[in-house]
A and B are shown apart, each in its own frame.
Chain A
Amino acid sequence: NAGVTQTPKFQVLKTGQSMTLQCAQDMNHEYMSWYRQDPGMGLRLIHYSVGAGITDQGEVPNGYNVSRSTTEDFPLRLLSAAPSQTSVYFCASREREGQETQYFGPGTRLLVL
Chain B
Amino acid sequence: SQQGEEDPQALSIQEGENATMNCSYKTSINNLQWYRQNSGRGLVHLILIRSNEREKHSGRLRVTLDTSKKSSSLLITASRAADTASYFCATVDTGRRALTFGSGTRLQVQP
Contacts and interface: CB of A to CB of B under 8 A. Distances in A.
B interface, over-half SS: strand
Contacts of B31: 100
B36 to A, nearest CB: 11
A90 B98 contact: no
B104 A42 contact: yes
Given A100-B31, A100-B92, A45 B99 contact: yes
A106 B42 contact: yes
Interface in A3-38: 4, 31, 33, 35
Interface in A99-113: 100-107
Nearest to B48: A100
Contacts of B90: 102
B103 A101 contact: no
Interface residues on B, range: 20 to 34
A102 B101 contact: no
Given A42-B88, A43-B43, A107-B41, A33 B99 contact: yes
Nearest to B101: A42
Interface in A70-112: 90, 92, 97, 100-107
B44 interface: yes
A102 B99 contact: yes
A101 B45 CA distance: 7
A101 B99 CA distance: 10
Nearest to A3: B42
Interface of A: 4, 31, 33, 35, 40-45, 48, 50, 56, 58-59, 90, 92, 97, 100-107
